[in-house]
Every structure is written in structure tokens, then in C-alpha cells.
Amino acid sequence: MSGQPAPRRTVLKGAVLAGAAGLGVAACSTESKLGHAKPLPSTPVDLGAADEVPVGGAKLYREQRILVSCPSEGKYKAFSAQCTHAGCVLDKIEKGEGNCPCHGSRFDVTTGEALQGPATVPLPAIPVRVEGGKLITGAAGAATSDPDA
């Protein structure tokens, strides 16, 4: 009867491993709830006066989750302001870098490049244009899906 304890140990090991696997699943679920894959608006967004973005600087539109920089007079670049690590919205711009308040990632406001981790993926670029002095982000043809247009 010396063979019985071994299967019992095997069963216990299996239970421990199953518990650990369950924790792993819970951690992944928590991460996805942080907004990792929250899509940007697909329709054009009016951000207001273009001259609110300083030349050589950038402005954060937290409510719209958009970052706009102006590397030179009349030239604008827009990016998602949602961190590519786990989805937090950037909270401020310092020295040409967008800061994520959650885990400290930093992004170049003129290229979207991740300068400091844990994020490694750049901020996605968004089309931006100026119409009547206002900044409009989003696809230029997005509003033409209206049959009356």
C-alpha cells in the first residue's frame, strides 16, 4: 500500500496549479478593464481654436483623449492620449513629453514615441487639419457617410 500517497500528492499539486492559473486569468481581466482597447472616436472631433496649441509645444485634450502638438507655425500633429501600456489617459505635458499618471510612461509629443516605459508602443497618430481656424481630428471623409451629404 505504498502507492497511494503519490497519487494524492499529484492531485494536490494539480489543485495548486489550477489555483495559480485562476489568478493569472483574473490579472489579465483586470488589465483589460483599464481601457486597453478603448477605440478613439471614428467621426471628426472639433477641438476648438488651433492657436490654443502653442507653437513648439502641445496641448492635451483629456476629455477627447487626444494630444495635439505644433512643431512649427501652422503644422499640427495629433495622437491618441491614451497610454499604450494599460490605457490610462495622459495627465500632463512636461518638457515636450506626455506623462502617464498610472505607471510613469512618457511619450514624445511630436512623434508619439514611447520614451520611458513600461509602455513600449508609440501613441497612435490621428489625422488632424485646420478648418476655419479650428482643429479637427479624425478622418477627413468620415462625415460623408451621411446619404444627404
Task: Find out whether 40 and 125 touch, Cβ atoms under 8 Å.
Answer: no
Site pattern 31..70 for ligand FES (x: CB under 6 A): ----------------------------------------
* Residue number with CB closer to ligand FES (70 or 85): 85
Smallest gap from Cβ 103 to ligand FES, in A, equals: 3
Tell me which of 62, 103, 120, 124 binds ligand FES, using CB under 6 A.
Answer: 103
Give the total of residues touching ligand FES (CB under 6 A): 12
Please give the DSSP secondary-structure letter assigned to residue 81.
-
CA distance 89 to 91: 6
CA distance 29 to 111: 31
Q: Determine if 118 is a binding residue for ligand FES (CB under 6 A).
A: yes
* Residue number with CB closer to ligand FES (34 or 130): 34
Non-local (6+) Cβ contacts of 130 within 8 A are 50, 74, 76, 136
Q: Determine if 93 is a binding residue for ligand FES (CB under 6 A).
A: no
Phi, psi of 26 (to 5 degrees): -65, -40
Using CB under 6 A as the criterion, which residues of the chain lie in contact with ligand FES when the complex forms?
83, 85-88, 100, 102-105, 118-119
